[in-house]
Chains A and B, each alone.
Chain A
Amino acid sequence: MSTLILLLATGLGLGGLYFLVASGLSLIYGLMGVLNFAHGSFLTLGAFVGLAAGNLVGAGTWGGLLLGLVVGALTGAAAATATELGLIRPLYDRHIEQVLVTVGLSLATVALFEGIWGPNPRNVTRPGWLASTTDVLGARVPNTAFLNVLAGAVVLGGIVAFLRYTRYGLIIRAGVENRAMVTALGIDVRRAFTLVFAVGGAAAGLGGVLATQSLNYVSPHMGASLLIFAFIVTVIGGMGSLTGAAVASVVVAVLQQLANFYLNNTGDLIVVLLLALVLLVRPSGLLGRPA
C-alpha cells in the first residue's frame, strides 16, 4: 500500500514537471501550428541561469530557490520571446520551416550549453527540506514531489485564468479555433504568438529550475530528455488542448512510475505503447478536436 502511495505521489510530481513543459508546447502548437523543438532549450537555459541567480543569494537556501525560480521563468520567457521574434516570425505561416528552425536552434543551443557549462551533469545544493521526505500513510514521499505538483497546479490555474479573463486570453482561445477569422476581425494575431511563446517559455524555465531540485543535478541535456516525454504528453492529450495536456501529464507520469516499479523498469516503453494505443483508438488525442 505504502509503495503504491509513493509511486502515485512521485508520479504526480513528475506529471507536474511534464505539464510545465507540455503546456507551452500545446499552447504554441494550438495557436500557431508550430512544433517547438527549442522548448527543451528554454528549460535548460532557465535552469542554469536560475540556479546561478539563486547561488548569488545562497545555494541551498529558500531565498535562493525562490529567486532562482523567478529568474528561471523570466529567462525562459526572454529566450522564447527572442526566438519568436527573431526566428519564427520572419517565417510567418511556413510551418515546416518554422519547425526546422527550432530543430536547428535546439541542436545549436545544446552544443553551446555544453561548451559553456560542460557536457556532464553537475550536482545542485537543495534546501534541506527538499532533499528529504515526508511520511504520507507510511510512504516516504520526496518533498520535491509536493513542490512540483504545487507548481504544476499554480501554472495550470494561472494559464486558465489568463485565457479566461484577459483580452489576450480571449484572442488566444479564438485563435486556436480559427486563426484566420481572428485576423478577419481586425486583430493582429502575431502579438498573441509572441505572448504564447513567452508564457510557454516562462513555464519551461520554471520547470527547468524545479527539475534540478527533483533530479538533484543540472545538465545541458535535461531539456531534451524532458521534451520527448512532453511531446508524448502533448499528442496523447490532444495537440492544442491545455486540459488534455494536464490530464495526459499525470496519466503518463503515474503510468511510468508504476511500470518502472511493477513491470521491471519498463516505464518508458509502456508510455510509448500507451501513445500507440491512444492513436489507434483516437487519432486526435484524448481531448483533441477531431481533425
Chain B
Amino acid sequence: MSGPNVLEVRGLSARIAGQEVVHDVSFEVPAAGVTAVLGRNGVGKTSTLRAVLGLVERSGEVLLDGVRVDGERTDRIVRRGVGYVPEDREVFAGLTVAENLRLAHRAGPGGTTAEHRALVDALFPDLATRAAQRAGTLSGGQQQMVSLARALLNDNRILLVDEPTKGLAPRIVGEVAEALAAAARTVPILLVEQNLQVVERLADRVVVIDAGRVVHTGPARDLLDDADLLQRLLGVHAETEAAR
C-alpha cells in the first residue's frame, strides 16, 4: 500500500474548538520532491498540516511510510522523522539561537547527524554568528532561518513547511526558496505556500484545498500553466501573480 509515498493522508478531518475546519481530506506525498498545498486564505491548509502532526483534534488516517501514526502523540510522530516548520516561524523568542537549535537536536536513528549540521551551517551561515542572540530580537527572515534549521538538523523522512515566505522581504524570499530547494534534494517536502513564484520554482505536485476539502491534485506545471484553473481554484490571475 505504501508504495513510493512517504506520507498518505486518508479522510482526514480536523476540529478546532469543536468546529470542523478540515473535512475528509485525502492526498499523498511522494518520497521525493516538493508537494505544494495551495488554497485561498483560511481554507484549512495550516490546520491540515497541524492535523497530520496531531497538534489539533483530528480523525481519519495518516500513514508515514505505510505505517498508521494517527493515534500517536505529536512528539512520537515527529521522532518518526517529521520535521515541522510552522506558520509564523514559532521560534522561542526568549531563547538564544543556539538554544533554539539545541532544543531541536535529536539523538539516535533519524536524529541529528554531522551531514545535517554541515548542511545547516552551509545554508545559514548567519546563525553561527548570531548563536548567542535571543531569537526574539532577530528579523523575520532570520527567524525563518532558525525555524528551517530546526527541521533540517535531523535526518527526517519528510518536512512539513507552512508558509515559509509569509511577510518576508522579496530578497529574503529568494534566500528561503534557495534553502528549501537545497533541502528538497535530500528530503521530500510538503509545502504550504501562497507565493506562486515560489511554488513554481519548488513544487513538483500540487494539492489544492478549498473550504476544507481537496478540490484538485496533479502536477504543478499543469495548474500553473492553466490560467482559467488558477483563477477558478485560487482566485488569482497568473499574470499579476507572476509580475510580483
Contacts and interface: CB of A to CB of B under 8 A. Distances in A.
On whether A and B touch (CB less than 8 Å), the answer reads yes
Interface string B80-120: 00001010001011110001001110100000000000000
B15 interface: no
A184 B55 contact: yes
A35 B106 CA distance: 32
B78 A174 contact: no
Nearest to A189: B75
B185 interface: no
Interface in A168-189: 170-171, 173-174, 177-178, 180-189
Interface in A119-164: none
A170 B94 contact: no
For chain B, the bracket of interface size reads 20 to 34
Given A170-B103, A171-B103, A174-B103, A183 B73 contact: yes
B93 A185 contact: no
Nearest to A180: B55
A173 B94 contact: yes
A166 to B, nearest CB: 11
Contact of B79 (A167, A170, A186): A186
Contacts of A185: 75, 78, 84, 103-104, 150
What bracket does the count of chain A residues touching chain B fall in?
Answer: 10 to 19
B193 to A, nearest CB: 19
Contact of A183 (B75, B95, B102): B75
Interface in B185-222: none
B74 A170 contact: no
A178 B94 CA distance: 11
B78 A170 contact: no
B53 interface: yes
A182 B55 CA distance: 11
Nearest to B102: A170
A174 B95 CA distance: 7
10 contacts: A170-B102, A173-B92, A174-B103, A182-B103, A184-B74, A184-B84, A185-B78, A186-B79, A187-B103, A189-B75
Given A170-B102, A174-B92, 16 more contacts: A170-B103, A173-B94, A173-B99, A174-B99, A177-B93, A178-B90, A178-B92, A182-B103, A183-B74, A183-B75, A184-B53, A184-B75, A184-B78, A184-B86, A187-B75, A187-B103
Q: Closest 7 A-B residue pairs measured CB to CB?
A: A186-B78, A183-B74, A186-B79, A183-B75, A174-B92, A184-B84, A181-B90
